[in-house]
């Protein structure tokens, strides 16, 4: 690590009508370091980053990049200065090829002024080689996995001579294995003298990749420490401003009776011959790498995708759910991985979202029972402590954790007996995470059975009574809570045909 300061942000202040989003924040980034930025949702991380990429200008404060002071940046200027950002939602154009995306907006031109396609593909291949990855440069980005799409974004930044790379939650869509390869790339970029701002909710990631870590809370700088000199508990304390007792709450209350029984379920191209039982009050973890077929399995049980063969039995009755509607009527609920795209109707209110699956129960004939709708909503908002100014608030204005609580409340209000959770805490901040874990534990105690697919191993280990591991569409092993460790799970999650393109 050198002491060349690439970026220095001093006294950055930004207000929106009614709120001070940032109050006198200081931040600096040196060449050849990974500087982690962490804080709960709403702490001001994204706002600070928007100042650095020129998306917004600070009300007060100075940004110094490579020795030059600026009162505020514009996106074009930030680009010229070598600042690039990679966001959770990729800003790639899915229909264009890898090479076209890498050079989007600065396509190499031939002598005639026409686009130099051959040169573009050659350059794209060179940049990807530099990253040490092989990707088909002519494939449309829509055909890539989330992990590879992220690599294309990094390549895009490199092709622009980027000196400051901002990564916003890069690990959120990756399996642990993919994350490891991403880390290798990040380390090689660091070795080249690039400055990297790494934003993540996952503290474990920060401890692995970070050199320094800055904690923000309520729009203010709290502390900056060398990662080697701090610890996870200390960071959590700084983030939430209070001691967070053990994140996971787990009481074992597994009943004897099998509630959901899956036999030989197959969806060609995604998973094959999946067989397992889920007991009353059990939390069954489903671990595996991204692409192992977990999401598809949950969607299949839920009736959202028709299975090719196999049977599902619910409480001894064969369940032939050919649509989510039928599965819901039988008492199954799905909390999908893509909360914003599949879990919620973002433009509609908390109440409308929360009561949507229960409308049949809460109406007389075709006519809604307005008072009961409001009462149901109120009771779950209170019970799950959903933080919202009112039941009429559009859910898009809620934080990730509160949105997820609304999705869970939908199924509780419906009276669900089996909950299928797909990455239940993705994009949820630490405080809300432990609330969701506590809720899961309470639901299990109430006799609800939970099947939880998760890429976060600590979550699987912390919450599951039993763990199923899936690899390449097959269940590769079943572990009791006592047997399950990171090592055992990972050894079964990595495909045996270990030919993985990194």
Partner 1 sequence: MTTSQQVSQPPAETGPQPARGAANRRRLPGGAMVWVLALLILAAIVLSKGVFIRPSNLTTVLYQTAVVGVLAMAQAYAVISKGLDLSIGATAILAALIIGDSSSADPQFLPHLPLPLAILFGLVVGLLVGVVNGFLAGRTAVPPFIITLSTYLVIVGVTFMLTQGAPVTQPAQVLKDLGEARVWILPVPVLLWFALIVVGHFVLSRTKPGAMLYAVGGNETAARLSGVPVARIKMFIYAAAGVFAAAAGLLFLARTGSVSPSAGSEFMLMSVAAVVVGGIPLSGGQGKIRDVVLGVLILGIAGNLMNLMGISPYLQMAVQGAIILVAVGANQRLAQGRGV
Interacting residue ranges for partner 1, rule: CB under 8 A = 16-19, 21, 40-42, 44, 47, 217-219, 241, 302, 304, 323-325, 328-329, 334, 336, 341-348, 352, 356-357, 359-360, 363, 366-368, 370, 379, 382-383, 385, 387, 389, 393, 396-397, 399, 410, 431-432
CB 479 to partner 1: min, Å: 30
d(C-alpha 294, C-alpha 474), whole Å: 10
CB nearer to partner 1: give 205 or 429.
Answer: 429
Dump the DSSP string for 33-54. Answer: EEEEEE--TTSSHHHHHHHHTT
d(C-alpha 229, C-alpha 485), whole Å: 27
CB nearer to partner 1: give 5 or 305.
Answer: 305
CB 345 to partner 1: min, Å: 4
Contact 195, 33 (CB under 8 A): yes
CB 385 to partner 1: min, Å: 6
Q: Which residues pair with 276 in a beta bridge?
A: 262
CB nearer to partner 1: give 177 or 414.
Answer: 414
d(C-alpha 27, C-alpha 37), whole Å: 9
d(C-alpha 360, C-alpha 372), whole Å: 12
CB 222 to partner 1: min, Å: 12
Going by C-alpha positions, the residue among 386, 465, 453 that lies closest to residue 426 is 453
Cβ density class 228-248: b for 16+ within 10 Å, e for less? eebeeeebbbbbbeeeeeebb
Question: What's the order of all strands across the beta sheet hosting 474-480?
Answer: 332-335, 418-422, 449-453, 283-288, 466-471, 474-480
CB nearer to partner 1: give 111 or 371.
Answer: 371
CB nearer to partner 1: give 219 or 473.
Answer: 219
Q: What is the DSSP letter of 266?
A: E
CB nearer to partner 1: give 280 or 433.
Answer: 433
Going by C-alpha positions, the residue among 67, 29, 69 that lies closest to residue 49 is 29
CB nearer to partner 1: give 63 or 327.
Answer: 327
CB 404 to partner 1: min, Å: 13
CB nearer to partner 1: give 255 or 360.
Answer: 360
CB 367 to partner 1: min, Å: 6
Q: Count other Cβ atoms within 10 Å, centred on residue 45.
A: 25
CB 42 to partner 1: min, Å: 3
CB nearer to partner 1: give 40 or 169.
Answer: 40
Going by C-alpha positions, the residue among 426, 197, 402 that lies closest to residue 295 is 426
CB 366 to partner 1: min, Å: 5
CB 21 to partner 1: min, Å: 5
CB nearer to partner 1: give 382 or 482.
Answer: 382
Q: Where are the alpha helices (DSSP H) in 139-175?
A: 146-159
Q: Which residues pair with 68 in a beta bridge?
A: 65
Q: What is the DSSP letter of 242?
A: S
H or E segment to which residue 278 belongs: strand 271-279
d(C-alpha 434, C-alpha 223), whole Å: 23
Query: Could you give the C-alpha distances from 289 to 14, 300, 472, 490, 492, in angstroms and in order?
Result: 40, 18, 9, 9, 10
CB 376 to partner 1: min, Å: 13
Q: Compute, in degrees rounded to 10, the torsion defined by CA atoms 225, 226, 230, 235.
A: 50
d(C-alpha 300, C-alpha 273), whole Å: 13
CB nearer to partner 1: give 158 or 413.
Answer: 413
**Which tokens go with 174?**
């990756």
CB 342 to partner 1: min, Å: 5
Q: Map tokens 């008492």 to a residue.
A: 331
End-to-end CA distance of the chain: 27
């Amino acid at each position: 690590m050198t002491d060349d300061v690439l970026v220095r942000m001093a006294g950055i202040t930004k207000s929106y009508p009614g709120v001070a989003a940032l109050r006198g924040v200081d931040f600096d980034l040196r060449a050849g370091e990974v500087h982690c930025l962490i804080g709960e949702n709403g702490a001001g991380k994204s706002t600070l980053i928007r100042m650095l990429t020129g998306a917004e200008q600070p009300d007060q404060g100075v940004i110094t990049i490579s020795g030059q002071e600026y009162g505020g940046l514009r996106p074009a200027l930030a680009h010229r200065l070598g600042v690039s950002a990679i966001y959770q939602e990729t800003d790639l154009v899915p229909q264009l090829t890898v090479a076209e995306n890498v050079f989007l907006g600065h396509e190499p031109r031939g002598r005639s002024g026409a686009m130099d396609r051959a040169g573009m593909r050659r350059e794209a291949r060179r940049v990807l080689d530099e990253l040490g990855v092989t990707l088909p440069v002519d494939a449309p980005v829509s055909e890539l996995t989330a992990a590879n799409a992220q690599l294309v974004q990094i390549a895009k930044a490199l092709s622009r001579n980027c000196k400051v790379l901002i990564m916003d939650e890069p690990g959120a869509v990756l399996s642990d294995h993919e994350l490891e390869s991403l880390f290798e790339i990040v380390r090689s970029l660091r070795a080249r003298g690039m400055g990297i701002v790494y934003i993540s909710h996952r503290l474990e990631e920060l401890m692995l990749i970070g050199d320094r870590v800055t904690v923000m809370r309520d729009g203010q700088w709290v502390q900056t420490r060398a990662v080697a000199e701090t610890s996870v508990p200390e960071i959590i304390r700084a983030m939430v401003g209070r001691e967070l007792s053990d994140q996971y709450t787990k009481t074992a209350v597994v009943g004897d009776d099998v509630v959901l029984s899956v036999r030989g379920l197959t969806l060609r191209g995604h998973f094959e011959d999946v067989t397992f039982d889920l007991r009353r009050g059990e939390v069954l973890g489903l671990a595996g790498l991204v692409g192992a077929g977990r999401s598809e399995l949950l969607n299949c049980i839920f009736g959202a995708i028709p299975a090719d063969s196999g049977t599902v039995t619910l409480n001894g009755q064969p369940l032939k759910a050919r649509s989510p509607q039928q599965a819901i009527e039988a008492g199954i609920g799905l909390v999908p991985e893509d909360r914003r795209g599949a879990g919620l109707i973002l433009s509609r209110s908390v109440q409308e979202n929360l009561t949507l699956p229960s409308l049949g129960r809460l109406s007389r004939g075709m006519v809604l029972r307005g008072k009961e709708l409001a009462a149901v909503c109120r009771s779950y908002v209170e019970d799950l402590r959903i933080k919202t100014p009112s039941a009429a608030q559009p859910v898009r204005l809620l934080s990730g954790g509160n949105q997820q609580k609304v999705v869970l409340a939908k199924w509780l209000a419906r009276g669900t007996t089996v909950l299928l959770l797909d990455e239940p805490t993705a994009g949820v901040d630490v405080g809300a995470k432990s609330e969701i874990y506590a809720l899961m534990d309470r639901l299990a105690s109430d006799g609800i059975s939970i099947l939880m697919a998760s890429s976060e191993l600590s979550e699987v280990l912390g919450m599951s009574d039993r763990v199923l591991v899936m690899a390449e569409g097959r269940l590769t092993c079943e572990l009791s809570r006592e047997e399950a460790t990171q090592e055992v799970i990972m050894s079964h999650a990595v495909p045996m045909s270990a030919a993985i393109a990194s």
